Homo-oligomer: A and B are copies of this chain.
Amino acid sequence: MRLLIVEDNVELSKLVASGLSAAGYESDIVGSTAEAREAVHNVSYAAMILDLGLPDGDGLSVLRELRRQMEPLPVLVLTARGGVQDRVNGLRSGADDYLAKPFAMEELVARLEAILRRPGQLLGRSLHLANLVYDTESRQIFIDDKPRIISSRETSVLEILLRRQGRVVPKKNVEDHIFGLDGEVASNAVEVYVSRLRKQLAEHGAKVVIHTIRGVGYMMAEEK
């Protein structure tokens, strides 16, 4: 399995490469956004490890470009900046995970393998669809890179539909996901949440649709 390391600090990049090699991964190293763009277009990598502070620009621009092209390549962002704002920026731009320097090699490998192993988007920290990004940890929603607030219940519905995007999610599953085992609902609560979610997504200009499959459930997909 081949990885792309985008990092301008030569010592660090070699260290990472050798650590990954020990874990059984081959890797290519580039040191600028320009080289990164080229490499990604020419080679099919299993994942990218991306540093943000690069000599010729911000690594996030590479990431955003990838996502705009609907490229699902898993990306692990790696940077010295560890503040909350940077973390949010990374995820908002479409990163799958985020690691602040200094870090332990084991953690890098563990997180990398987590994003490689995840089936579809079932386990990812961050979920994407069209211009919609959802951070599963902070439960934050971004549309066109702008944070949007929607209420808790609707967020839960969004999450489960997003995790199974392009697949039908039975209404019962949605209900279970929201209420867990204990709470029972004696009404059409799920329908109401879906209705409210649709409305809010539309208001915020999200380019996604929630299809209704009568007698079964719902399916979220990209618009058109």
> A47 CB to closest chain B CB, in angstroms?
22
Does residue A140 face the partner (Cβ distance < 8 Å to B)? yes
Query: Which residues from 134 to 167 on chain A have a C-beta closer than 8 Å to any C-beta of chain B?
Result: 138-140, 146-147, 149, 151-152, 166-167
| B215→A152 contact, CB < 8 A | yes
Does residue A213 face the partner (Cβ distance < 8 Å to B)? yes
This chain: how many copies in the complex? 2
**C-beta contact mask, A178-197 vs B, less than 8 Å → 1, else 0?**
00000000000000000000
> CB-nearest residue of chain B relative to A219?
B147
User: Once the chains are docked, how many angstroms separate the CA of A140 from the CA of B166?
Assistant: 10
| B215→A147 contact, CB < 8 A | no
| B221→A168 contact, CB < 8 A | no
User: Once the chains are docked, how many angstroms separate the CA of A151 from the CA of B168?
Assistant: 13
| Residues of the B chain whose Cβ atoms lie less than 8 Å from the Cβ of A101 | none
User: Once the chains are docked, how many angstroms separate the CA of A111 from the CA of B140?
Assistant: 32
